[in-house]
Amino acid sequence: LTRELGVLYAAHHHGRPDPLPPLPVQYADYAAWQRRWLTDGTLQRQEDHWRHTLADAPTLLELPTDRPRPTEQDHHGAHLPVTIDTHLTTALKTLTTQHGGTLYMTLLTAWAIVLSRLSGHHDLMIGTPTANRRRAELENLIGFFVNTLALRIDLTDNPTTTQLLHRVRDLTLTTLDHQDLPFEQVVEAVNPTRNLAHTPLFQVMFAWQNT
């Protein structure tokens, strides 16, 4: 939106016609694809995947620093910024390249290790947002496609860092292949134990904003 607004403003300022090319697809096309997925079994297959993957998943991640939860979430919290310096960033990128993943996968692996050590849990549920723009035609299309995914990371067999990096890489790729089913429908399909004091499926998220 910002890019197109800038292009249109500059063209108008100089008395030029609209220079933006026609869109290859419209937002309505995406809605039509979703309707087609309902009839061709795509969403049903994804629902089956989530129901199988998240069966008997832990319902609550308890951390030693947690304070007593209110009976109903109030969403009050604080903000603690953490900066990763240049040297560590370079080392993380090198590690990522060695194992054929992405920086997102490497940092998610590290986050899972930290949470496991803090909580003592080895079956972790971590949420993550996804842009959900799987087709090139959607990259420049204005519209809300974002979905939330639930990643279940298994550390029960005390994997090495290398094993876990590969495990998280494979999990991430498989999860992205099933990102089209809306999160609320995933919750309905899995039907976890519900509690007003915490969100269903996961209470911790990992959001990667690669700017």
- pLDDT tens digit sequence for 95-110: 999 999 999 999 999 9
Residue with tokens 């800038």: 6
- Global pTM reads 0.88
Please provide residue 87's backbone torsions phi and psi, each rounded to the nearest 5 degrees. -60, -45
pLDDT of residue 157: 93
Residue with tokens 């997925």: 37
Q: What is the pLDDT of residues 138-167, one digit of tens each?
A: 888 888 899 999 999 999 999 999 999 999
- 175 sits in which H/E element: helix 161-176
- Residues comprising the chain, all counted: 211
The CATH H-level (homologous superfamily) assignment of domain 26-62+84-190 is Nonribosomal peptide synthetase, condensation domain (3.30.559.30)
Per-residue confidence (pLDDT) for residue 67, from 0 to 100: 84
> Could you tell me the residue ranges of all domains in the chain?
26-62+84-190
Distance of CA 129 to the CA centre of its chain: 3
Per the listing, tokens 């298994």 go with 154
Residue 79's pLDDT is what? 87
Residues of the chain with pLDDT under 70: none
Whole-angstrom Cα distance, residue 211 to residue 25?
26
pLDDT score of 140: 86
| Contact assessment for residue 154 and residue 122, using Cβ atoms and an 8 Å cutoff | yes
